[in-house]
Amino acid sequence: MTADGSRLSRLRRAPHSLTSRVTAEKRVPLIQVAKTLAAMILAWFTCLLIFPEQLPIFGAIAALLVVQDNVDQSLSKGMERVIGVLLGVSVALATGTFLGQHSWLFIAALVAGLALGWALRMTPSAANQIVVSALLMIALGGLSLDYGIERLVETLIGALIGVGINALVAAPVRTVPVHEALVSLTENAAAALRRIADALDRPRDDDWLEQMHEDARTLQVQRTRVHALLRQARDSLRLNPRSRRHRRGLAADDALFDRLQPIITQIGGMSRAVYDLYEPDLVTDPQVVGMVEEIRRAAHDLELLVHDGGEREIPTEPPALTAPYTIPRPHPEHWVLIGSLMEDLRRVRGRITGELE
């Protein structure tokens, strides 16, 4: 297998294991852990200054939950936590008023909290906040209205501290992984094109063709990953004080991804056509020989989209594509495959040059 083929093959998903269900591919950045810890400690002591007679459990929990991957998520989690505590306190007080202080009051609060979350069409995590807050209210403070108000204020303090620290201290920006993944996707797409050209360059056996097609199919997995990374990057810049310097680069990556998506689709179609309709004597057809060179030129120019920074007006290396390749008379036996490849190659070329934008 070639180096390009090995690189594409590594994109296949590994089998799920028990540990993979509770672990992430990468550790959370240490700065994010430090910010979470700082938010919890600051919320703890701030709430102690305001409510010295109570342990600030609600404030610390709010700070813990609010420091998220980006500022927009932090704000959403903060609102979710405050609303959850407000409704949870209300549930605890209401059930306590009607049922009194009994051991099974916890069950009643649990049922009422879930029912309220369902009735309000709240997300599962938001509904869980209601239940947890109601149970903590009953367990720690009883059924006092003053205690409930204090816990609501405490939660608000913890949420504000969490949002503030996440926004002001190295607010997370997720644009670098997007660009790296786009470069990798483009290089792998070019490698897949070269593999298609190699299939037409000299006779190949079934195993080789199957590997070629599998390599092309893995591009779909990588495209899905890049799409997810783009969403994360956009979310990381929303409400982020550091967003201005990163928005232009993300917009360029977004435009490049829009250009790449149909190219990936065409490469998949070319690979499938070769895999299904391949015949060893294709390599002797003069029309196919010329097409091989055009496919390799397309792969060359595809890589220029990232290695020249996507700026086709001032390239550091001239494009290799010539005028569109034409076939005056198709082969009587191979015309279906040749025609399919020609149409896909035309579309790939048009996307690379921008003619089909």
The encoded tokens of residue 92 equal 């605890």
* pLDDT on residue 327: 55
Backbone angles phi, psi at 332, to 5 degrees: -65, -25
Residue 210's alpha-carbon distances to 21, 34, 205, 214, 277, in angstroms, are 31, 48, 9, 6, 12
Distance of CA 261 to the CA centre of its chain: 16
Residue 237 has φ and ψ, to the nearest 5°, of: -90, -15
Contact (Cβ atoms closer than 8 angstroms) between residue 142 and residue 97:
no
What pLDDT, on a 0 to 100 scale, did the predictor assign at position 17?
60
Q: Which amino acid does the sequence have at 276?
A: D
Count, in order, helices (H) and strands (E) of the chain.
12, 0
Tell me: the pLDDT tens digits for 287-336? 777 788 889 999 999 999 887 654 444 344 555 444 455 555 555 566 67
Cα angle at 247 between 242 and 250, to 5 degrees?
125
Look up residue 151 and give its two tokens: 């816990």
Per-residue model confidence (pLDDT) at position 13: 44
Which residue from 17, 162, 19 is spatially nearest to 81, judged by alpha carbons?
162
Task: Report d(CA 319, CA 317) in Å as an integer.
Answer: 7
Angle at 105 between CA 102 and CA 108, to 5 degrees: 150
CA 226 vs CA 134, 229, 241: distances in Å: 41, 5, 24
For residue 346, give the nearest of 315, 313, 321 by alpha carbon: 321
d(CA 353, CA 349): 6
Report, as ranges of residue numbers, the positions in the chain whose pLDDT lies below 70.
1-21, 141-142, 308-335, 357
Decide: 150 and 59 in contact? Cβ < 8 Å: no
pLDDT, residue 105, reads 86
Q: Which residues contact 338 (CB under 8 A, 6 or more apart)?
A: 285, 287, 288, 291, 327, 330, 331
Q: Which residue has the tokens 């299904």?
A: 276
What is the pTM for the complete model shown? Answer: 0.68
Distance CA(122)–CA(238), nearest Å, equals 23
